[in-house]
Structure 1
Amino acid sequence: MTITDDIHPMQNQQPMAGYRGIHFEWQVSDDHKVATIMLNRPDRKNPLTFDSYAELRDLFRALSYASDIKTVVITGAGGNFCSGGDVHEIIGPLTRMAMPQLLAFTQMTGDLVKAIRACPQPVVAAVAGVCAGAGAILTMAADIRLGTADCKTAFLFTRVGLAGADMGACAILPRIIGQGRASELLYTGRVMSGQEGLDWGFYNQLHESDQVLAAAQTLAAQIAAGPTFAHGVTKRCLHQEWNMGVDEAIDAEARAQAICMQTQDFHRAYHAFVARQKPVFEGD
């Protein structure tokens, strides 16, 4: 499948503004364009469970059909992002599972990353405090990452006897920070500081802990004000062109851009420019 095989405006089967999360908080901005997912088990630093993994996967899959939501912010409550898989509710049960059950679990967690990458909405991670294991993976899977100087990001799988090859880390992390740096983090499981993350390109910006969520929501709102359909095309191109040669990517982008030129937003931008006005994009 190439970039242009399934480019289409998002078909809104059911508005997501009224969605109610069971295992996390779901908030939508007043204009219904920016959704915020807040992992909300602050007493345990917001660990994931079997059920929260599955609900997040299903939510991001559903976002592919939600035209009301333009951008998504993911964050954690209580000063931490996510401490990874819950030791008692996930790690313990995994030690008692047979291979078919283990594979079903690891494929399900990988499907969450696939769903984040496949949803057309740009995803912004707002990270403070602990960001470890699966929490670091969720952050990695986002399109844009905002952190804090004191946030602690660790791909700590090797520290619990597992490979760093988890949920696409060996494919995605090197593309963000480089092969050598990714190798170090995945082999050692050590903490990457906020400043390291910024210097290495993992984090786009650093903010104070009490301001990082607001900064992420502001950035998400700025993106949401842009051409929704075109943003979805950009996200798909960024993801799929990892597997393309340069010539193939240029050809795919030519087809993608020609499709964008058929949108009403493209025409609105032209007429607004002629009238010396700011375009108001509507996503069609």
Structure 2
Amino acid sequence: MTSHAALDAGTTRQMAGFTATHFGWSLDAHVATITLNRPERKNPLTFESYAELRDCFRALRYATDVRAVVLVGAGGNFCSGGDVHEIIGPLVDLPSPDLLRFTRMTGDLVLAMRACPQPIIAAVDGVCAGAGAILAMSSDLRYGTTRSKVAFLFNRVGLAGCDMGACAILPRIIGQGRASELLYTGRVLGGEEGERWGFFNRLLDGETLLHEAQAMAKSLAEGPAFANGITKTMLHQEWTMGIEQAIEAEAQAQALCMLTEDFKTAYHAFAARQTPVFQGR
């Protein structure tokens, strides 16, 4: 496949040398693992970590060496939401223009997660509250444990449940009525109930959670990366389409995928009774 150096410079990047200041980052076999790593406080977010996560997921949109992402928390918890002392306290005293800048920034993190082509797997153990619940919700797959405690607790701090896309995304995962209950009450959704409701794809042991999430990510990374990115894009875009629009959009998307080397590879491997080795292009 031919390439153009100037085009590549403006539309691709390598994440192998990426370093993060406010969360953990590792990259192995095309799988990136992002670790929220303030375990002494159950991994809360700060102004800085919000912004750095947003910028990281924006960069992943152009990354050619990352094909799947695992999002996990350190120390047996996922994320306790916005840090009470470093975010919630300062917000009380900010004027409305600054508050809007903050809420738009947090929303931009969700937009960046949905816009990056890589499937994101959230490995959720323990506390997953507030903005932490939003991060899990915004991922493509969610693995939990029986210890998982998911809470969209915005109303408990005097705020609306319509935070960072919750009213748009959560009903599409678990249904309107169940989402309404969680957003109105802020109650905890346990792991077993969360699996029954469809919030969690699977429940795993806490000791094997990260390993299983990374194994799934590796399996996805070994698949046709370009086609997987198209699937993610269409899953997101078709929320606002009618069935006729969706079918036409999928026809165009699938025709594009039929031009890829991975499609040809799959055919030749099938004909030779071999397992295809996808290159993501």
- TM superposition score normalised by structure 2: 0.96
| 2:3 alignment partner in structure 1 | none
Q: Which letter does structure 1 place at the counterpart of 2:191? A: G
Q: Which letter does structure 2 place at the counterpart of 1:154? A: A
| 1:60 alignment partner in structure 2 | 57
Residue 239 of structure 1 pairs with residue 236 of structure 2: yes
Q: Does structure 2 conserve the Cα–Cα contact (< 8 Å) formed by 1:10 and 1:65?
A: no
Q: What SS class does the counterpart of residue 23 from structure 1 fall into? A: coil
| 1:282 alignment partner in structure 2 | 279
Q: Does structure 2 conserve the Cα–Cα contact (< 8 Å) formed by 1:79 and 1:129?
A: yes
| 1:3 alignment partner in structure 2 | none
Deviation at 1:13, TM superposition (A): 3.2
1:60-96 superposed Cα distances (whole Å, 9 cap, x missing partner): 0000110100000000000000000000000000000
| 2:108 alignment partner in structure 1 | 111
CA distance in 1, matches of 2:12, 2:47: 27
1:94-131 superposed Cα distances (whole Å, 9 cap, x missing partner): 00000000000000000000000000000000000000
| 1:26 alignment partner in structure 2 | 25
- TM superposition score normalised by structure 1: 0.95
Q: Which letter does structure 2 place at the counterpart of 1:138? A: L
Matches within 5 A, 1:1-284: 13-29=12-28, 31=29, 33-284=30-281
CA distance in 2, matches of 1:10, 1:189: 46
CA distance in 2, matches of 1:194, 1:67: 34
Q: What SS class does the counterpart of residue 15 from structure 1 fall into? A: coil
Sort the Cα spacing of 1:11 and 1:239 in 2 relative to 1 into closer, same or farther, 3 A. farther
CA distance in 1, matches of 2:199, 2:9: 29
Structure 1: runs of 5 or more not aligned: 1-8
Q: Which letter does structure 2 place at the counterpart of 1:62? A: A
Number of residue pairs matched by the alignment: 274
Sort the Cα spacing of 1:257 and 1:10 in 2 relative to 1 into closer, same or farther, 3 A. farther
CA distance in 2, matches of 1:148, 1:218: 16
Sort the Cα spacing of 1:11 and 1:223 in 2 relative to 1 into closer, same or farther, 3 A. farther
1:259-282 superposed Cα distances (whole Å, 9 cap, x missing partner): 000001000000011111000000
Q: Does structure 2 conserve the Cα–Cα contact (< 8 Å) formed by 1:133 and 1:154?
A: yes
Q: What SS class does the counterpart of residue 65 from structure 1 fall into? A: coil
CA distance in 2, matches of 1:14, 1:282: 16
Structure 2: runs of 5 or more not aligned: 1-7
Deviation at 1:210, TM superposition (A): 1.1
| 1:6 alignment partner in structure 2 | none
Sort the Cα spacing of 1:76 and 1:41 in 2 relative to 1 into closer, same or farther, 3 A. same
Deviation at 1:28, TM superposition (A): 1.2
Q: What SS class does the counterpart of residue 61 from structure 2 fall into? A: helix
CA distance in 2, matches of 1:250, 1:202: 27
CA distance in 1, matches of 2:120, 2:141: 7
Q: Which letter does structure 2 place at the counterpart of 1:185? A: L
Q: What SS class does the counterpart of residue 124 from structure 1 fall into? A: strand
Q: Percent of aligned pairs with the same residue?
A: 66
Deviation at 1:18, TM superposition (A): 1.6
- Aligned alpha-carbon RMSD (Å): 1.2
CA distance in 2, matches of 1:194, 1:93: 32
Q: Which letter does structure 1 place at the counterpart of 2:140? A: D
Q: What SS class does the counterpart of residue 160 from structure 2 fall into? A: coil
Q: Does structure 2 conserve the Cα–Cα contact (< 8 Å) formed by 1:12 and 1:67?
A: no
Q: Does structure 2 conserve the Cα–Cα contact (< 8 Å) formed by 1:11 and 1:66?
A: no
CA distance in 1, matches of 2:115, 2:174: 21
CA distance in 1, matches of 2:79, 2:9: 30
Which one has more relative contact order, counting CA pairs under 8 Å at least 6 apart?
1
